[in-house]
Amino acid sequence: MSRHAGPPRAADAPTVPEPTFAERARTLAYLGRSGTLATASRRHAGHPFASVMPYALDAGGRPLFLISAMAMHTQNLEADARASLLVTQPDWSGDPLAAGRLTLMGEACRLGGAEAGEARSAYLARHQRAGYWVDFDDFAFWRLEVVDVYFVGGFAAMDWVTAADYAAAGPDPLADAGPGIVEHMNRDHADALIAYARHFAGEAADEASMVTVDRLGFKLRLRQGERLSSVRIPFPREVTTAGQSREVLIEMLRRARVGALDTPRPST
């Protein structure tokens, strides 16, 4: 069995609720501050040209760029507006192939007038240091008009998301609080994570770490010996704030500990 494979599941195993791929894509785009912009090279026809690109989002989740006319990617866009923006899960220190990422495909357009003003407000709220060069004559705001989205949520979790579904979805309500919850649980409650895995997922583990958390539950990365796997555990009810998540996690730990005490011990 592959070291990355999850445990075998019964065909009638219950489905664990989780946000749609559209919601997860919007959340990932919301959390990110920079991505990799791929444009069509003007110098080498047919070749993609990739560059680091800070971005912000408008109300519909469309990426906004502040770019200089002298930049190679800007010159590429002026010749061919087609582009893609790759965004990866921020602050990921584990296996990058197990992390979330999405590719936003579309056509870039330069903004002017009121649209440029709206983009300016959204961009500077996300990138305050850009205020030092935002008014330079060679800089302008551009927007990627999303035509398709490809989302990868880790191993065996990937699919296309329509532009309409992406635009209609919203970031998860725990998006801002999530990184702090994950960091706190991994730093201070490693034993609790193992208890969650054993009680709620039936998974024995030597180590467990929280990877992501959202309004419907959380994902754990498990290690048992040399074997790595992951499991998603649902919350007993939807949570929308850090305070609610703390209450639910404490409640779940109590249930896990009671369940461990009630488990019959093997006779000797």
Structure confidence at residue 6 (pLDDT): 40
Residue 127 belongs to what H/E stretch?
A: none
Give all domains of the chain, ordered by start, each with its CATH number: 21-168 (2.30.110.10), 178-262 (3.20.180.10)
Angle at 29 between CA 26 and CA 35, to 5 degrees: 155
Structure confidence at residue 268 (pLDDT): 44
**Integer Cα distance of 81 and 94 in angstroms:** 35
What are the angstrom distances between the C-alpha of 135 and each of 63, 130, 140?
20, 9, 9
Structure confidence at residue 170 (pLDDT): 93
Residues 6+ apart with CB under 8 A from 38: 48, 49, 50, 83, 84, 85, 86
Structure confidence at residue 153 (pLDDT): 86
Structure confidence at residue 1 (pLDDT): 31
Secondary structure (DSSP) of 188-230: H-HHHHHHHHHHHH----SEEEEEEEETTEEEEEEEETTEEEE
**Across all residues in the chain, what is the average pLDDT?**
90
Q: What is the dihedral of CA 153, 158, 159, 163, to 10 degrees?
A: 20
Structure confidence at residue 142 (pLDDT): 98
Secondary structure (DSSP) of 66-111: EEETTSHHHHHHHH--EEEEEEE-TT--S-GGGS-EEEEEEEEEE-
Q: The whole model's pTM is what?
A: 0.85
Structure confidence at residue 109 (pLDDT): 98
Tokens 């790759």 belong to 86
**Integer Cα distance of 23 and 235 in angstroms:** 17
Per residue in 125-184, pLDDT (tens digit) is 999 999 999 999 999 999 999 999 999 987 778 999 999 999 999 999 999 999 999 999
Nearest to 137, CA basis, from 69, 75, 77? 69
Tokens 């519909």 belong to 60
Structure confidence at residue 125 (pLDDT): 97
**Do residues 182 and 213 touch, judged by C-beta distance below 8 A?**
yes
Per residue in 27-52, pLDDT (tens digit) is 999 999 999 999 999 999 999 999 99
pLDDT(200) > 60:
yes
Residues 6+ apart with CB under 8 A from 121: none
Tokens 């990868």 belong to 152
Could you report how far apart the first and last alpha carbons of the chain are, in Å?
Answer: 33
**Integer Cα distance of 245 and 105 in angstroms:** 34
**Integer Cα distance of 170 and 34 in angstroms:** 19
